[in-house]
Amino acid sequence: MFIGHYAVALATKKAAPKTSLGTLIAAAAFLDLLWPVLLLVGLEEVRIAPGDTAFTPLDFTRYPYSHSLLLSVVWGGVLGAAISR
């Protein structure tokens, strides 16, 4: 899953050559770094379900603030505004 995120960051480098690769990688990983914070605050939910998948025992039950399409666009705007200052 993360390979796809970083592939987008690397592909974007060609479209925006003046932007640092570190910034593009941070932008690609931002929502996945935001998710645990929102989980700890209690805004999103996960339950432990051993054997649910082969990769992780986590069952992602509710994560509307970090990975919904609408709020992903909003978070992208917030990150873009913070970086461009």
Provide the domain limits for residue 31: 2-84
Give residue 10's pLDDT: 92
Q: Which pTM value belongs to this model?
A: 0.73
Instruction: Give the CA dihedral 30, 52, 39, 8, nearest 10 degrees.
Output: 10
Give residue 47's pLDDT: 93
45 within 8 A of 61, measured Cβ to Cβ: yes
Task: Tally the domains of the chain.
Answer: 1
| Tens digit of each residue's pLDDT, the chain (85 residues) | 678 888 988 999 999 899 899 988 988 899 889 999 999 999 999 999 998 888 889 888 999 999 899 998 999 889 888 888 7
59 within 8 A of 46, measured Cβ to Cβ: yes
Give residue 74's pLDDT: 92
Give residue 46's pLDDT: 93
